[in-house]
Structure 1
Amino acid sequence: MAKRKTTILIKKVQPQAVRHSGAWKVAYADFVTALMALFIVLWLMNTSDQVRKLVAGYFNDPMGRASVTGTDRSGSADNLPLTKSNVKQLKQRLEHAIEQMADLKALAKQIEITVTPEGLRIELMETKNGAFFETGSTALNASGRELLGLIAKELGDIPNNISIEGHTDAQPYSDPGGYGNWELSTDRANAARRLMQSTGLRTNQVSQVRGYADQKLRLPEHPLDPSNRRISLIVQYMERLPAPAAAPIAVTVSKPAGEMPGASQASAAKTAAPMVAAEPAKPASPAARIAEQLLARLHRH
């Protein structure tokens, strides 16, 4: 008998490419989110209560419709309102900026920055030969223009109002036309206002310009001392940001059926007067809830 031939088929299987899972991306995203939350907590722990309120206000209303908003400067809080809690920060910033000006180092003793119940007071005191104004004149000299321009740029970034005062010593101003210390103190304060508004202050930032002549001497025991002639800039405190006025919602009250024309005046008044309905509370966004949790942990620690 003939032998059968056995046929052997060999199939080569091509190895398939290993598909990698994308689960690591989710884990990495969670890690980065947790790291960002840690950095936010560490930053908030070293900031003032005012900054924390502004951060919470941003998370509660990212569109910026609320009255409390954050700064529009990346990584800076220079334009925050001046309050009693952060007044020392502005004082140090101004002192540092003045120290950097080489032309003003010789006049450092003529510049005095103090914290008062009214706000941050910046006083530019004159010398016998005139430090910031020409002697007996309302014209600012080069040092006065440079210093006031520097201060205007620093104060123009904050929303606080500023009042400007002019003072003189007790020496009578000799002018046959009747021009005296009252006019000189007021005109110098106005000269400072015009320069500061042209170099940094907003047009509506100056709330008051006052001239006191010699009625508020810096050194009452030395009424003729040149330092009594000075310009005072007061950055007024802003304890609270103004809340926007909520417009009332008018609700039309329909006249009940069958009501007779002879209804009482009280009923007619209720029908005519608009009623104010409270707006329903909006649910907090996820970002707002995260911010509240972070702030709650900060208060506990």
Structure 2
Amino acid sequence: MKKREEKEPNAERWMLTYLDLITLLMIFFVVLYASSNADTTKYKQLAKSLNVAISGGGASIIGSDTATSVTNSTVTVVDPPETTTNAANSKTAEENNMESIKKNVDTYLKQNGLASSVSTKIDERGLEVSLKTSLLFDVGTAGVKEDSAKKLISIGKILNHVNNYVRIEGHTDSTPMSNNEFKSNWQLSAIRATNVTELLISKAGISPKKISAVAYGENRPVATNTTEIGKAKNRTVDIIILSNQFSKTEKIK
């Protein structure tokens, strides 16, 4: 009697499991690498390589009738958010806007002979327009002088071309009050800042929702109070067009 031929075991089955494991490990490490690398170009190259590796153009992993075919698949490349770039572009746009407004204010000051009484600068808080109190008020008073009010309104209209919040800051020197109208320099600076604020709202069209008045009295000097020149520099009303960063603290809750 003829001996029955025994079928040889399929030696390729273990390769299927092995290659599946290798493929999964490759995907795992590629994803880890891509997640830790913010380089968009390398990220796309890795994704493309991964797509080719796991798709194989539709061919079988082993090449026999026992193997499972891998169909063509697509790896979708999601670009990482360009938050840094967007923030930089936003900052540049804001800086350009502030520079443009400052230039317009400086032009107005020069044309109207106010350059010696009003100064402008841009810092981390935004655009600052600093007016000497001698331009706006008589000594020891808080009412804005009529001729100066018109100039203040014109400046306010230029500044009203942005949606940023506006802060009016009142400052004095350290000389004690010598009249009965105000109890302290703090009170004097508060009333002056408030009067300027109300004038900008009623005449320059600045929304009351985006403007506020702040008083510092003699507590924020920019120069020494031991000389008359220094004291004159400390007596100001400052109009601050707040930067986007500082405007966030002023938003209505």
TM-score range, shorter chain: 0.5 to 0.7
Tell me by how many angstroms 1:152 deviates: 1.5
Equivalent residue, structure 2, for 1:162: 166
Are the structure 2 counterparts of residues 226 and 233 from structure 1 closer, same or farther at C-alpha, using a change threshold of 3 Å? same
Does the alignment pair 1:236 with 2:236? no
Q: Structure 2 residue aligned with 1:97, among 108, 111, 120?
A: 108
Equivalent residue, structure 1, for 2:127: 120
SS in 1 for 2:129: strand
Are the structure 2 counterparts of residues 239 and 92 from structure 1 closer, same or farther at C-alpha, using a change threshold of 3 Å? same
Q: Structure 1 residue aligned with 2:118, among 85, 102, 111?
A: 111
2:187 counterpart letter in structure 1: E
SS in 2 for 1:131: helix
1:212 counterpart letter in structure 2: Y
Q: Which aligned pairs between 1:236-255 and structure 2 lie closer than 5 A? A: 236-238=242-244
User: In structure 2, what is the Cα distance between the partners aligned to 1:181 and 1:241?
Assistant: 27
Equivalent residue, structure 2, for 1:188: 192
CA-to-aligned-CA distance 1:219-263 (integer Å, 9 cap, x gap): 135465222111000001126999xxxxxxxxxxxxxxxxxxxxx
User: In structure 2, what is the Cα distance between the partners aligned to 1:206 and 1:241?
Assistant: 9
User: In structure 1, what is the Cα distance between the partners aligned to 2:132 and 2:188?
Assistant: 15
Contact 2:164–2:210 (8 Å) recurs in 1: no
Are the structure 2 counterparts of residues 177 and 229 from structure 1 closer, same or farther at C-alpha, using a change threshold of 3 Å? closer
Query: Which structure shows the bigger proportion of residues in helix conformation?
Result: 2
Are the structure 2 counterparts of residues 223 and 179 from structure 1 closer, same or farther at C-alpha, using a change threshold of 3 Å? farther
Q: Where does the alignment leave 5 or more consecutive residues of structure 1 unmatched?
A: 1-48, 55-81, 243-301
Contact 2:174–2:225 (8 Å) recurs in 1: no
User: In structure 2, what is the Cα distance between the partners aligned to 1:138 and 1:240?
Assistant: 28
Equivalent residue, structure 2, for 1:219: 223
User: In structure 2, what is the Cα distance between the partners aligned to 1:190 and 1:142?
Assistant: 16
User: In structure 2, what is the Cα distance between the partners aligned to 1:194 and 1:220?
Assistant: 30
User: In structure 2, what is the Cα distance between the partners aligned to 1:91 and 1:177?
Assistant: 36
Task: Tell me the TM-score normalised to structure 1 length.
Answer: 0.47
Q: Structure 2 residue aligned with 1:86, among 72, 83, 97?
A: 97
Contact 1:165–1:209 (8 Å) recurs in 2: yes
Q: Structure 1 residue aligned with 2:202, among 198, 203, 221?
A: 198
Are the structure 2 counterparts of residues 171 and 191 from structure 1 closer, same or farther at C-alpha, using a change threshold of 3 Å? same
User: In structure 2, what is the Cα distance between the partners aligned to 1:155 and 1:202?
Assistant: 9
Q: Which aligned pairs between 1:22-33 and structure 2 lie closer than 5 A? A: none
Tell me by how many angstroms 1:201 deviates: 3.1
SS in 2 for 1:113: strand
Are the structure 2 counterparts of residues 192 and 199 from structure 1 closer, same or farther at C-alpha, using a change threshold of 3 Å? same
CA-to-aligned-CA distance 1:25-47 (integer Å, 9 cap, x gap): xxxxxxxxxxxxxxxxxxxxxxx
Tell me by how many angstroms 1:142 deviates: 3.1
CA-to-aligned-CA distance 1:136-182 (integer Å, 9 cap, x gap): 10011134202210111112222111000000111000235762111
Contact 2:173–2:225 (8 Å) recurs in 1: no
Task: Tell me the TM-score normalised to structure 2 length.
Answer: 0.55
How many residues were matched structurally?
159
Equivalent residue, structure 2, for 1:142: 146
User: In structure 1, what is the Cα distance between the partners aligned to 2:169 and 2:189?
Assistant: 8
User: In structure 2, what is the Cα distance between the partners aligned to 1:189 and 1:196?
Assistant: 11
Equivalent residue, structure 2, for 1:19: none
